Amino acid sequence: MAEGSPTKKPEQPEYIRIKFDLPRPYHWSTGRYLGKLYAEAKENKRLMANRCPKCKEIRVHAPTPVCPKCKVDMGWDWVELPQTGTVFQYTYQVYPLWDPHEGRRCSNPHPPAIILLDNGVYLRHLLEETDTKKLKEGMRVQAVWEEDYDKRGQGFQDILYFRTIEE
């Protein structure tokens, strides 16, 4: 309490504010299976997934050495995913949450969506269209890649978002 005055408001605690604005690169081992996904995206702009030899389910998020359902070795059976699909579902951010990479409130204008790729596999990614009035389920979309080779190497994030296409 402040001295001598019982009616005076107690002092607010002092918060220490630290601003992070330096890049913080880190090392992360992808391993053999994820490495294939990362390398194909960076080198060839291809999105790869692996397939279980038993149940034939395609593992999109993300390739694994063992099928979680059948518990068998996946082997080395790769499928290239189509880069066009249909918006199965979308949502969009209204209130900005924390951007942990910048350490401040930040909004992502690109709506997160579930996209049904043309081979029947569901992929979770972002949409380019930020006007929520123009969003609808069933929209046809196509992947837009990061064109700068040096900026690629982020796996799924090498695709920036999916762009609405007319067919």
The number of angstroms, rounded, from the C-alpha of 65 to the middle of its chain's C-alpha atoms is 21
Rounded CA-CA distance 65/74 in Å is 5
Identity of the residue, 17 or 166, whose beta carbon is nearer to another protein in the bound complex:
17
Identity of the residue, 98 or 149, whose beta carbon is nearer to another protein in the bound complex:
98
- Closest separation between CB of residue 62 and another protein, Å? 4
- Closest separation between CB of residue 140 and another protein, Å? 18
Rounded CA-CA distance 161/147 in Å is 12
Q: Tell me the two tokens of residue 86.
A: 């249909």
- Closest separation between CB of residue 1 and another protein, Å? 14
Contact (Cβ atoms closer than 8 angstroms) between residue 117 and residue 123: yes
Residues that bind another protein (CB under 8 A): 13, 28, 34, 60-62, 68-69, 88-89, 91-95, 97-101, 106-108, 112, 114, 116, 122-124, 132, 154-157
Q: Tell me the two tokens of residue 71.
A: 């518990």
